[in-house]
Structure 1
Amino acid sequence: MTTPVFHGIKTNLLTTASTAITSVATAVIGMVATGSDADAALFPLNTPVLIDDVRTALARTGTQGTLPVALAAIADQCSPLVIVVRVETSADGQDALVEAGLQKLLTAEQVTTYRPRILGAPGLASEAVTTALATVAKQLRGMAYALVPAADLAGALAYPAGFGARELMLLWPDSAVGGADIEGRALGLRAAIDAATGWHKTLSNVEIAGITGLAEPVSWGLDDTTTDAALLNSANITTLVRKNGWRFWGNRTTSSDAHWAFESAVRTSQVLQDSIEDACFRFADKPLTVGLVKDIVATANGYFRKLVKQGLLIGATCWYDPAANAGADLANGQLALDYDFTPAAPLEGLTFNQRLTDKYYVDFATLLATS
């Protein structure tokens, strides 16, 4: 067959292989709670369920257990998506029930289409539960928020020694309400900050709605490094202070690695991982060509530029390293790309250097003459 000859002018509409990356949704809470008289149709046992209207759901939580207190505390901050796993109440073996409930959060994305990234078990804190919570947070690339179960400052300061997870933020003391209240408020405020400001902003120094007081007094001064609050922060515990309303005060995770000391660094890392991976799903199984590699690198760098412009990131770069890509690996369909990034650190400490001087008297006569 003779190949037709094209003689003229035409335009082909093409799309580039690179794509805009959208950051994953981070303001999704996942929590385990108890509630023996909750509506079983809305809150079935040991099943992750998506609550898309927290205030309406409050009418069906009942009055028992941690569920009504935690959801009310969240609702005071905002009305986010909340994935709830309700577990049985037990006078013996409650930790095991909660730990099993936390495992159910790992299936939440398949069940609800949303991945929980702000995690907690309000009112059910114990060392075993918090350890399990941190493990689940790592698997979900989320952050866990847990109350330190200590009756006094000395007990609180000793508690973090048992933890080292970058995905965990510890809180102390409890609120005056107690139970699931303070952890619920932390989860709700974290979601509110994500929605209003972004995942690059830490939990610290944002007014908390609904706090009436603390279970234990905490001394604090903005310029004092010897207070209870300063000691707690130095022990990687986020506390609460009262200045223009009640606020969480502390930016740090339990990690001993300085790279992951700040909550914002961990969450930035998680968002970059998931967002880039999700966007690059479309590249999987395509022919591994020079053009494909360039498109993937361009996609990642385009996303980084957008985040920097939005003030969510200080800088980041993706590149192809020949040393990491042997010919045999490429022939086997295996490609490795590198990227680095610098997250936005919180302004945790601000120092002013005050100097007494007489230099402003030098032109005093001129000032008198012209004033």
Structure 2
Amino acid sequence: MALDFYHGLEIVEIDSGPRPIKTVKSSIIGLVGTAPDADTTAFPENTPVLLAGSRAAAALIGKTGTLPSAIDTIFDQVGAMVVVVRVAEGADAAATLANVVGGVDATTGKYTGVHALKAAQPTLGAKPKILLAPGFTHQKADASTANPVVTELIEIANNLRAVILADAPDGPDADLVAYREDFDSKRVYVLAPRVLISRDGKTVSEPMSSAVAGLIARNDQERGFWWSPSNQTMNVVGFDASIDYAHGGGNSRANHLNENAVNVGIRDVGMRLWGNRTCAADPMWHFLAVVRAHDMIFESVETAHRWAVDRPITKTLIEDICDSINAYGRHLKTLGAVLGLEAYPSPDLVTPQQIQQGQLYVDVKWTPVYPAEHIIMRTHIVGDYVEELI
């Protein structure tokens, strides 16, 4: 509003008030792998390329390497948006693994390997939320080291607010549990065993992460990001190892692995994913669905309030921010995405001293919806119904 002298009618636009909050896309997949026969124009090395559910565009990736089969398996589940990063095959397996790990090119300053996923949002406007590198997450140099690809992806997943689908190595349960124990991260979701896929008339064994990535994307689209992918079916032929599973008891291999945060494939009225647990040591972040719900909700809140940054701190600004978040919380509760969500000025931190430094604190309390991982049905033998015989 102008403060200079003016004689006449002036229209002043007031743009205060709450803003609607739009939920960010939760089902964009970030896929890293090899494809030696790819069209180099369509899929340049170490460059994120967006496939918007199109098998025609994916055909340019060729037929060799890890990417073609992974993309096909994802699309077998759903027509997902997939950010693809192609890396070069090395002279041997170790060199290829190093290319997948990547980093920053010292000459060009360009991200390489899994790090190229960080360039997806600024170059494509797409932020991957489900990260995987099938065929490269199971290897370990020795028993004392963790897989380098998963280790590298954790920092990237923290930056992107994404989760990592990590394929465990083949082997006995002790090896699977030992693999899971290499990580303490709410963003790592371990999978076993490999899935069986029908390809070119033959049944082949492939990493499960591609099928689960497509499953999570489909689950997000059909049900919502707050739903657990566990107990949902995958479009695969089967699994290359039988993991026994039994209703009504804990003495099964599936239950043992789930207890140790190894999520498995079971055959039970379809080929199902079975397991909710991340590799977090903190019980607050045990459930994958809770981690993803927190990521999606608060990135949406953060993105929607960019307009408020650098505005004068006034009572109106504080009310507008809280009103926007509270309206979004009511919408999420109606959808069944949260049990409740409420924003309010932080009573202990909104002080004159903090405001004078340009700092405004808003607290948001919320309760996620938790997956019904353990349903207990209690049975009682009573004599009440004997009377019906008389």
* Common fold: TM-score over 0.5: yes
- CA shift, 1:253, in A, is 0.5
- Figure out how many residues of one structure are paired with residues of the other and give that number: 360
Cα deviation code 1:303-327 (max 9, x no counterpart): 1111001101111111112321332
Secondary structure of the residue aligned to 2:181 is helix
Mapped to 2, the partners of 1:84 and 1:261 lie a distance apart of 29
Distance 1:361 1:98, change over 3 A: same
Q: Which residue of 1 aligns with 2:120?
A: 108
Equivalent residue letter for 2:184: G
- Among candidates 276, 281, 301, match of residue 251 of structure 1: 276
Question: What per-residue deviation string (whole Å, max 9, x for no partner) do you get for residues 11-38 of structure 1?
Answer: 9996652111111011101110101011
Partners of 1:173 and 1:215 within 8 A in 2: yes
Query: Aligned partners of 1:176 and 1:113: how far apart in 2?
Result: 34
Segments of 4+ in structure 1 off by > 4 A? 1-6, 11-16, 177-181
Cα pair 1:314 1:344 within 8 Å, conserved: yes
Q: 1:306 aligns with which of 319, 331, 352?
A: 331
From 222, 227, 241, the counterpart of 1:196: 222
Alignment equivalent of 1:138, drawn from 158, 172, 187 = 158
Instruction: Tell me if structure 2 keeps the 8 A contact 1:69–1:179.
Output: no
Q: Deviations over 1:211-236 (max 9, x none)?
A: 22222221111222111100110110
Picking from 102, 106, 129, the partner of 1:117 is 129
SS of the residue aligned with 2:348? helix
- Please give the alpha-carbon distance, in whole angstroms, between the structure 2 residues aligned to 1:333 and 1:119: 36
State the superposition RMSD in angstroms: 2.0
Q: Where does structure 1 lack aligned partners over 5 or more consecutive residues?
A: 366-371
Q: Is the 8 A contact 2:87 2:100 kept in 1?
A: yes
Deviates more, 1:328-337 or 1:174-183: 174-183
Q: Distance in 2 between matches of 1:2 and 1:200?
A: 55
- Alpha carbons of structure 1 residues 89 and 340: separation in structure 2 relative to 1, 3 Å: same
Q: Which amino acid aligns with 1:186?
A: V
Q: Distance in 2 between matches of 1:95 and 1:247?
A: 30
Q: What is the deviation of 1:260?
A: 0.3
**Separation in 2, partners of 1:128, 1:158:** 15
**Do residues 293 (structure 1) and 318 (structure 2) align?**
yes
TM-score, with structure 2 as normaliser: 0.88
Structure 1 residues 5, 333: CA separation in 2 closer, same or farther (over 3 Å shift)?
closer
Higher mean C-alpha deviation, range 212-221 or range 25-34 = 212-221
**Deviation (angstroms), 1:4:** 5.4
For 1:105, give the aligned amino acid. Answer: L
Change (3 A) 1:46 1:358: same
Correspondence for 1:38: 38
Shift of 1:333: 1.4
1:264-305 CA-partner distances (Å, limit 9, x unpaired): 110111112210111101111211111101110111111111
Q: Which of the residues 244, 257, 261 maps onto 1:236?
A: 261
Cα distance, 1:5–1:146 mapped onto 2, change above 3 Å: closer
Contact 1:35 1:87 in 2 (8 A): yes
Q: Indicate conservation of the 8 Å contact 2:51/2:58, yes or no.
A: no
Offset at residue 193 of structure 1 (A): 0.5
What letter corresponds to residue 299 of structure 2 in structure 1?
Answer: D
Q: Which residue of 2 is the match for residue 51 of structure 1?
A: 51
Q: Does structure 1 conserve the Cα–Cα contact (< 8 Å) formed by 2:184 and 2:281?
A: yes
Residue in structure 1 matched with residue 25 of structure 2 by the alignment:
25
CA distance in 2, matches of 1:115, 1:223: 41
Aligned to 1:369: none
Any conservation in 1 of the 2:195–2:206 contact (CA below 8 Å)?
no
Q: Which residues in structure 2 correspond to 1:31-180 (within 5 Å)? A: 31-90=31-90, 91=92, 92-100=94-102, 101-125=113-137, 126=139, 127-177=147-197, 180=206
The CA distance in 2 between the partners of 1:139 and 1:330, in whole Å, is: 28
Q: Say whether the 8 Å CA contact 2:30–2:83 is kept in structure 1.
A: yes
SS where residue 220 of structure 1 aligns? coil
CA shift in 2, pair 1:44/1:207, >3 Å: same
Q: Which has the higher strand share?
A: 2
More helix, by proportion: 1
Whole-angstrom CA distance in 1 between matches of 2:41 and 2:257:
42
1:69–1:181 contact (8 Å) kept in structure 2 = no
Unaligned runs of 5+ in 2: 103-112, 140-146, 198-203
Distance 2:369 2:35 in 1: 39
